[in-house]
């Protein structure tokens, strides 16, 4: 038996993640104009994005906390409308200076910046001008925005995540995009948007390769391994169908420069395939990515659609946090139907808790594409309680991350290249569906949906635990002493 103590490989990136509209606040300050997310988050019944976690004003305090925790990396996203308030044209010097300062402060503290260029927040000006991603003009405008970032910050940033969670943008296309109502009944639009994003991402990837010395282009995919309900041949086929449309459909583009044929043909049969122009696939092939950021929260389970449900049904989130209150499970007719996995536990918002899924997906993706990966999101949303003594006892989060980190380590033992762990989230942020009711952070932000209160930062128990995990480069995960966790 190999008695070498278990830990993560040398040089492993340890940190956490956030995104601009969910953490920064200052949504209309210092020259920034609104993004589609700032607008979509108004009047939801939850908090909006105008203050969020006030990171725009508190980034130095936040970076000091990252350093205290031992981070050597941090994933954040640029806000397009802070840099270009109208999406194109005049640049906003104060916005550019904010990211200069943020990046320099990270570097001064020994923390490698891992930025995302686009995390759902298309400038509202471009939505008003030409319906945002629905127009092909978005490809050129995104490339200009990306080029600006690369030329400005490329001397300090090597690893670029270009687009966050294209798969989720397709699945929740009306929630992750401001879609004018006239398109709402046309599901082809979501695959057209996706095609434009594929082109935009490929262009920016080519620019990274052109301008950044040793630069690497990546993307953060929202990824769920799909399990079949059981060994019934039809259900196994449904599993393959869902893997094709929900996973290979994106990763085949990123790493092979082509659409997964099964998924594309299915979309053609159902009049949902994107319009692909001459030269598009060449551009996509040229812009293939170098690494993958994996956002993993939950696995999915499917069966072949029941007769009475065999029609297009779009996914809807659980908005109340009452287990079982899922809005709707997605159905693609004659292809698959999402269902609750009868063999796995869930959190209060019906997200499956499945650490084995982490090992499964890492090995599965590596088998298919042989690419390096980093975990760019992973975490558990919960209603954290601030106790009278100012502590937050989030044992469930420690347990969740401990199991997922062990699964990552197992995948590494099996030969998968995993370069880092940047879980969701660093401080509590505005949830995409549930405001501040659902929290993910290592650091509590003292606010709720009703009031921003004092926005003070408080370290949760998971912060102290993670600090020790990082210090030991993961070895602590295998410590069996009940007094050490």
x/- string (CB under 6 A) for ligand BGP, residues 381-410?
Answer: x-----------------------------
Distance between CA atoms of residues 386 and 53, nearest Å: 16
Quick one: tokens of 347? Answer: 């959190």
Window 58 to 97, contacts with ligand BGP (CB under 6 A): none
List of residues 6+ apart from 416 with CB closer than 8 A: 362, 363, 366, 373
For ligand BGP, give the closer residue by CB, 120 or 465. Answer: 120
Which DSSP string corresponds to 369-396?
H---EEEEE----B-----TTS----HH
For residue 425, cis peptide bond before it (omega within 30 degrees of 0): yes
Interface segment toward ligand BGP; rule CB under 6 A; list 29-37, 63-71, 161-169, 209-217:
161-169
Distance between CA atoms of residues 34 and 27, nearest Å: 6
x/- string (CB under 6 A) for ligand BGP, residues 3-32?
Answer: ----------------x--x----------
Considering only 123, 215, 222, 257, the residue that binds ligand BGP (CB under 6 A) is: 222
* Nearest in space to 427 (alpha carbons), one of 418, 415, 439: 439
* Least separation in angstroms between CB 351 and ligand BGP: 8
Considering only 165, 243, 348, 428, the residue that binds ligand BGP (CB under 6 A) is: 165
x/- string (CB under 6 A) for ligand BGP, residues 416-455?
Answer: --------x------xxxx---x-----------------
Considering only 105, 377, 384, 394, the residue that binds ligand BGP (CB under 6 A) is: 377
Interface segment toward ligand BGP; rule CB under 6 A; list 29-37, 100-108, 162-170, 234-242:
162-170
For ligand BGP, give the closer residue by CB, 89 or 324. Answer: 324
Is 165 a known active-site residue? yes
DSSP 3-state assignment of 240? helix
Alpha helix ranges (H) inside 261-394: 261-269, 280-286, 355-369
CA angle 308, 314, 317 (to 5 degrees): 115
Contact 439, 383 (CB under 8 A): yes
Catalytically annotated residue among 105, 165, 171, 243: 165
Distance between CA atoms of residues 16 and 376, nearest Å: 8
Residue 404's H or E segment, with its range, is helix 395-413
* Least separation in angstroms between CB 432 and ligand BGP: 3
Contacts with ligand BGP, residue ranges (CB under 6 A)? 19, 22, 164-165, 168, 222, 295, 377, 381, 424, 431-434, 438
* Catalytic center residues: 165, 377
């Amino acid at each position: 038996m190999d008695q070498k103590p278990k830990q993560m490989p040398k040089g492993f990136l340890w940190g956490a993640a956030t995104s601009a509209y969910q953490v920064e606040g200052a949504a209309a300050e210092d020259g920034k104009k609104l993004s589609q997310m700032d607008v979509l988050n108004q009047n939801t019944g939850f908090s909006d994005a105008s203050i969020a976690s006030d990171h725009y004003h508190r980034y130095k305090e936040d970076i000091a906390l990252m350093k205290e925790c031992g981070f050597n990396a941090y994933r954040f996203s640029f806000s397009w409308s802070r840099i270009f308030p109208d999406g194109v044209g005049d640049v906003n010097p104060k916005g550019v200076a904010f990211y200069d300062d943020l990046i320099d402060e990270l570097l001064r503290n020994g923390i490698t910046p891992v930025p995302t260029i686009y995390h759902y927040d298309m400038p509202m000006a471009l939505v008003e001008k030409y319906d945002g991603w629905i127009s092909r003009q978005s490809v050129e405008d995104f490339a200009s925005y990306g080029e600006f970032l690369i030329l400005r910050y490329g001397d300090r940033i090597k690893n670029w995540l270009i687009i966050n969670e294209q798969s989720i943008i397709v699945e929740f296309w009306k929630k992750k995009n401001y879609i004018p109502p006239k398109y709402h009944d046309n599901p082809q639009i979501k695959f057209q948007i996706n095609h434009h994003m594929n082109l935009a991402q490929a262009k920016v990837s080519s620019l990274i390769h052109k301008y950044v010395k040793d630069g690497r282009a990546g993307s953060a995919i929202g990824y769920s391994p799909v399990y079949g309900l059981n060994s019934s041949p039809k259900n196994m086929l449904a599993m393959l169908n869902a893997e094709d449309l929900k996973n290979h459909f994106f990763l085949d583009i990123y790493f092979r420069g082509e659409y997964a044929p099964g998924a594309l043909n299915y979309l053609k049969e159902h009049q949902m395939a994107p319009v692909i122009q001459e030269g598009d696939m060449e551009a996509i092939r040229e812009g293939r990515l170098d690494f993958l950021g994996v956002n993993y929260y939950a696995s999915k389970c499917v069966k072949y659609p029941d007769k009475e449900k065999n029609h297009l049904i779009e996914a809807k989130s659980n908005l109340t946090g009452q287990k079982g209150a899922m809005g709707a499970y997605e159905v693609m007719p004659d292809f698959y139907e999402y269902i609750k996995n009868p063999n796995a536990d869930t959190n209060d918002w019906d997200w499956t808790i499945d650490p084995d899924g982490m090992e499964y997906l890492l090995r599965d993706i590596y088998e298919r594409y042989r690419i390096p990966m980093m975990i760019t999101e992973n975490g558990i949303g919960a209603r954290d309680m601030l106790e009278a003594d100012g502590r937050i006892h989030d044992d469930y989060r420690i347990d969740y991350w401990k199991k997922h980190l062990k699964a990552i380590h197992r995948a590494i033992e099996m030969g998968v290249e995993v370069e880092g762990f940047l879980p969701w989230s660093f401080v509590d942020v505005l949830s995409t569906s549930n405001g501040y009711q659902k929290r993910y952070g290592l650091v509590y932000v003292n606010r709720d949906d009703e009031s921003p209160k004092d926005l003070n930062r408080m370290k949760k128990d998971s912060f102290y635990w993670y600090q020790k995990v990082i210090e030991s480069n993961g070895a602590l995960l295998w410590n069996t002493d009940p007094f050490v966790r």
